Amino acid sequence: MVSIKDIARAAQVSHSTVSRALRNSPLVNIETRALIHKLAGEAGYTVSAVGRSLVTKRTSTIGVVVTTIADPFAGEVVSGIEEFALSHDYSVILAACHADPDRELRAVHSLQERRVDGILVMASRIGALYLPRLSGMKVPIVLINSHHPGEFVYSIRIDNVDGARLATKHLVDLGHRRIAYIGDRFGFQSDMERLTGYREMLEETNPGFEADLGFEPDLVAYGDGTPEGGRQAMLQLLSRAARPTAVFCYNDRMAIGAMRAVREQGLRVPRDVSIAGFDDLFLSSYTDPPLTTVRQPKRDMGVQAGEILLQLLAGEKPESRVTSGVLVVRESTGPPRSAASLRSAIRSHG
Amino acid sequence: MVSIKDIARAAQVSHSTVSRALRNSPLVNIETRALIHKLAGEAGYTVSAVGRSLVTKRTSTIGVVVTTIADPFAGEVVSGIEEFALSHDYSVILAACHADPDRELRAVHSLQERRVDGILVMASRIGALYLPRLSGMKVPIVLINSHHPGEFVYSIRIDNVDGARLATKHLVDLGHRRIAYIGDRFGFQSDMERLTGYREMLEETNPGFEADLGFEPDLVAYGDGTPEGGRQAMLQLLSRAARPTAVFCYNDRMAIGAMRAVREQGLRVPRDVSIAGFDDLFLSSYTDPPLTTVRQPKRDMGVQAGEILLQLLAGEKPESRVTSGVLVVRESTGPPRSAASLRSAIRSHG
DNA sequence: ACCGGTATTGCACACGTTTGCAATCCTGAT
DNA sequence: ATCAGGATTGCAAACGTGTGCAATACCGGT
């Protein structure tokens, strides 16, 4: 592998001069600089980041911790991170922890050894095991929609309460009285917040707890975040005495499973049950019917996380940021049928 | 940042001994080794990969070039890569090229500077610009389902011809006579191969080119790989005089768009038109109806790509590998209606 | 001729680690 | 007592790069 010294020999100068020339330092004569660039080009020389890092004590590298990159949500956020990184001459080192304590430890340890300049964490669950290791590292850490905002100072997250209110209000405005929530049973902070927004909106709309509107524990079911989990939760809701006419789901994946459950019961979306999700995944606009959901600015959140990290690296004290979701109304939500027609529809199917 | 020398000072030994002790070399006394481990633990020492890389000339790092990590297919493959990497003490550096020549160049250049030990490329289109740069690098490169197998020796890919035959045969066996293909207009090698498999199967089934079965250029349409592209292509096919009763799509994303187009025309899947895809994305089993498709072993392909790379790094000469897709029959395909009933269905809608 | 100043270059060290080689110490056998 | 040999340790070089400082050369002004 050709190094700076080989170029120096070829150009009959010291390696210091080569180093300076390649970084376009004004300290070096314009002609020698040109010569060195020419020789370096011919020799196919590329500066070694490892040599450089050793002296500069910076690797221009950021670690991204993610539960799994196969999650389409994570993919889009990381895509934003990567875009930001590339445009600022940083590289992204991926570390998937798979919610597995052993892998978490190994992944973070590896980032530590590689001396990343900073870390972005998007794992919804930050394991108790590697949390101390993370905070023990001397590098800045920015959390993205994560669970432990208290432990770490800097984060970017979506306003879950507001987003949930948006979705719930939409369902209320359509005329629904019995609106259910399918949450994530792992009890992430984000789930708590979305539940809060859902609950707030219901209670505000109906301060006196009139019949058929207001928060009812019976109208909350839990899945595991996957379509199958959403399906199971929806089946539960449908089997209860007073079924909901609309459901707000913690995320799009469960909403998709919920739609399937509705179909399996011979009912139709949104005619019999309206369904709204959260996230707006790439494929959510291609479900049948297309899914009403709260869009998270995923790429942008990745970019903003990068910006916060950069400020941190520059020694500034950035504010944590909160972005807002926007309600995307598609065709999975609509006005409720009257109770009578719903009953007859069920009878004709059963 | 605490270095090996700090530990050496604390342990009253030379830094060489510390280095050896930490790597559990038998050359160092068992007690001093224990002492050093203890001190290192207390000091929160982690070896610096950059210092090490400088002398070992290996970074234990592999670069992954991908069009965009937001693509769910890429996400799953990268997930497999990451898993493999972690279990072999490698780290993954992500480089997204976004099919943009400028970014391609910058991304690959960055991998070069970082001295990755090897590169995995999964961009369906390898830009002419950075191709030479790639091959100019002295590191082993493994292609995943990529376009230029000729340029690079090592690759892992799916047997597209076979997979397409599987899907097409399934449709033929169901009784379809007019089977269309929606391809990718960018003309990737994989598209050519899937078209070939589709065509082969049709011609084998009907060597004499009888009416309504066999390859017909009229039954091929092209999209851009996205759902919207698939939708457009499907609309084209539906507007032709003799419509297909079944469609095999280049990928699941276009198949999803095609299903939407069918619905938009007031037709039903699979009653009026059967649709099959390719890839088996995570969400493909949750479309309505669930999509029949050819599953690619995505994670496994990532793992296998890693294995090939590792063999290369060990100086071996691995074989390129070809994996097989498996047909996953779901509910988007079924026997065709008779031509008569199809016509009446269309009349009643139009 | 001398001086101050600027432009250009090289020297030498530093960064953190690995490793070949030499040095030292100790043990047991002769 | 001597020696062979093993166990343990340190020395020193090397990896590729950046940079403070000194050195040199040159220029213009007096």
Q: Is the pLDDT of residue A149 over 70?
A: no
- Range from A24-38, A266-280, A306-320, B114-128 carrying the lowest mean pLDDT: B114-128
pLDDT of B117 reads 97
The candidate with the shortest Cα–Cα distance to A262, out of A194, A316, A182, is A182
- Specify which of A145-159, A211-225, B117-131, B312-326 reaches the highest per-range mean pLDDT: B312-326
Q: Residue A131's pLDDT band (boundaries 50, 70, 90)?
A: confident
| C-alpha to C-alpha distance for A327 and A173, rounded to whole angstroms | 13
Residue scoring higher pLDDT (A218 or B327): B327
The candidate with the shortest Cα–Cα distance to B67, out of B123, B144, B129, B131, is B123
Which nucleotides in chain D lie closer than 7 A to a protein CB? 7-12, 14-20
Task: Please indicate whether, in this complex, the C-beta atoms of B94 and A82 are within 8 angstroms of each other.
Answer: yes
Whether A89 has its CB under 8 Å from any CB of chain B: the answer is: yes
Q: Is the pLDDT of residue A17 over 60?
A: yes
Q: Is the CB of A109 under 7 A from strand D?
A: no
pLDDT of B263 reads 93
What CA–CA distances, in Å, run from B189 to A304, B142, B159? 37, 17, 12
Min Cα–Cα distance to chain A from B34, Å: 21
Cβ–Cβ under 8 Å, residues B269 and B231: no
**A26 CA from C2 C1′ (Å):** 30
pLDDT of B350 reads 38
Task: Please indicate whether, in this complex, the C-beta atoms of B46 and A82 are within 8 angstroms of each other.
Answer: no
Residue A267, Cβ neighbours under 10 Å: how many?
17
pLDDT of A189 reads 83
Tokens (6 digits) for B317: 């000469």
Instruction: State how far Cα A28 lies from the chain centre.
Output: 47
Among chain B residues 31-70, those with CB within 7 Å of any atom of strand C: 47-48, 50-52, 54-56
Over chain A, what is the mean pLDDT?
90
Q: Is the pLDDT of residue B340 over 80?
A: no
Cβ–Cβ under 8 Å, residues B145 and B178: no
Q: Tell me the mean pLDDT in the region B14-18.
A: 96
pLDDT of A137 reads 82
| C-alpha to C-alpha distance for A204 and A209, rounded to whole angstroms | 10
- What's phi and psi for B97, nearest 5 deg? -105, -15
pLDDT of B208 reads 58
Min Cα–Cα distance to chain A from B200, Å: 31
Among chain A residues 16-45, those with CB within 7 Å of any atom of strand C: 16-17, 20, 26-30, 32
Whether B31 has its CB under 8 Å from any CB of chain A: the answer is: no
- What's phi and psi for B143, nearest 5 deg? -95, 140
Cβ–Cβ under 8 Å, residues A76 and A60: no
Task: Please indicate whether, in this complex, the C-beta atoms of A51 and B54 are within 8 angstroms of each other.
Answer: yes
Please provide the size of chain B in residues: 350
Cβ–Cβ under 8 Å, residues A33 and A21: yes
| C-alpha to C-alpha distance for B174 and A214, rounded to whole angstroms | 51
Cβ–Cβ under 8 Å, residues B155 and B175: no
A·B CB contacts under 8 A = 158
Specify the DSSP class assigned to residue B123: -
Q: Tell me the mean pLDDT in the region B279-300.
A: 93
pLDDT tens string B220-240: 999 999 999 999 999 999 999
Contacts with A66 from chain B: Cβ below 8 Å: none
Q: Which residues pair with B119 in a beta bridge?
A: B63, B141
| C-alpha to C-alpha distance for B348 and B350, rounded to whole angstroms | 6
- Range from A17-26, A31-40, B332-341 carrying the lowest mean pLDDT: B332-341
Q: CA B66, B68, B73: angle at the middle one, nearest 5?
A: 80
Q: Is the pLDDT of residue A132 over 90?
A: no
Q: Is the CB of A23 under 7 A from strand D?
A: yes
Name the closest residue on chain B to residue A112, using Cα atoms.
Answer: B46
Min Cα–Cα distance to chain B from A68, Å: 7
pLDDT above 70 covers a percentage of chain B that reads 90
Three-class secondary structure of residue A198 per DSSP: helix
Three-class secondary structure of residue B39 per DSSP: helix
Q: What is the pTM of this model?
A: 0.91
pLDDT tens string A295-305: 999 999 999 99
Q: Residue A286's pLDDT band (boundaries 50, 70, 90)?
A: confident
| A178 membership: H or E segment, kind and range | none
Q: Is the CB of A14 under 7 A from strand C?
A: yes
Q: Residue A264's pLDDT band (boundaries 50, 70, 90)?
A: very high
